[in-house]
Amino acid sequence: MDYDGHCAEIFHQADLLASCLTEQATDLTTTVPSCPDWNLAQLLRHLGETHRWVENLVRTRATEPPPDTALRVLPRDTDRPPAEVAAWLTEGARLLADTLRSSGPDAEIWTPLPSGSPRFFARRMAHETVMHRADATLTLGRDFTVDRRVALDTLDEWMELGSLPQMFDYHPDRRELLGPGRTLHFHATNTPPEAAADWIVDLTGDTLAWRRTQEPAAVSVRAPLTDLLLLIYGRVPADNDTFEITGDAELLEFWLARVLFG
C-alpha cells in the first residue's frame, strides 16, 4: 500500500466501524473481550481521540510530541447514542485523512519511531483503525473481514515495528525470546502464490528479525489470512480449530505472550 492508500483506509475503516454501530442496537457499555480494560465507549473514544491527536500533530508540523490526551484514562460511561458516536468517529477520521493528504508524505514532523514524516502516521493510523474495528466487530458478534492487501500490509507493519531494536528499550523482557533454534512460520492458507503470504520470525540472533519467505521453522501456524492477523495482533487465542499448529506450540505461546500489540 502507498501513502494515498493509507490515507484512504483511515476513513474507510472508520466508516465500516461506524456502520457496525448503527446497523443494530449497540450497548456502548459492553466490555471489549480483546481489550478487556475497555468497554465499547472507551474503545471508540480512544480511536477518535487518537485520530484527532495525530491530526493536530501533522497539521502543526509538531517537532515534539503534543500532550498525550489520546492515551488518558477514559470514562466507562456514556450518554451519547451510538449514531452520534459513529458520526464523531468518522468526522475525526476524515479530518485526519484530509490533513495527511494536505501535508504530503515528506513533511518533517515528530514521530515516536524512526521516520520523521507523515508516512509513519498514515500507515500506523490506517492499521490502528483496522484493528480497533476488529475489536468492535468481534465484540458485537459480527464476522470481521478485511481486504487482502490491507491485511498483508497490517501484518508487515506489525513485523517491522516489533523487530526494531528500540523495542528492547520499551520492552526489556522481549530479550527472553531470543535463543538457538527459535523460529516461527506463519502461512496464510487462502491467498494465491503471488501474495507471498508467509512470514518467518527469527529469534536466533541478537535481535528480533523477520522475513517474508516460506521455510522450515520450530513451529508453523497455518490459517486464513484474516485469522493470522487477529492471532498475531493478540485478538484471538491460538487454541481453536482455525489454526493448524505443528512443532513447538510452547514457543508460539511464549512469543505471543511477549509481543502483544495495542
The average pLDDT across 178-193 equals 97
Scored b (16 or more CB within 10 A) or e, 36-62 reads eebbbbbbbbbbbbbbbbbbbbbbeee
pLDDT of residue 261: 66
106-135: pLDDT as tens digits = 999 999 887 789 999 999 999 999 999 999
Q: Which of left, alpha, beta for 246 (phi over 0: left; psi -120 to 50: alpha)?
A: beta
Residue 204's nearest CA partner among 180, 220, 233, 228 is: 180
What's the mean pLDDT in 167-172? Answer: 87
Model confidence band, residue 68 (pLDDT cutoffs 50, 70, 90):
low
Q: Please determine, for residue 28, whether its predicted confidence score (pLDDT) is greater than 80.
A: yes
3-state secondary structure of 213: coil
- CA 72 from chain centre, in angstroms, equals 19
Other beta carbons within 10 angstroms of residue 171's beta carbon come to 14
pLDDT of residue 262: 45
Q: What CA–CA distance (Å, rounded) separates 173 from 177?
A: 8
Give yes or no for a contact between 221 and 150, defined as CB atoms under 8 angstroms apart.
no
| Domains of the chain, earliest start first | 3-144 (1.20.120), 154-258 (3.30.1050.10)
Interval 41-54 mean pLDDT: 94
Indicate the residue type of 199.
Answer: W
Residue 76 is predicted with a pLDDT of: 64
Q: Is residue 237 helix, strand or coil?
A: coil
Which of 18-27, 71-80, 250-259 has the least mean pLDDT? Answer: 71-80
Mean pLDDT of the 227-235 span = 96
pLDDT, the chain, mean: 92
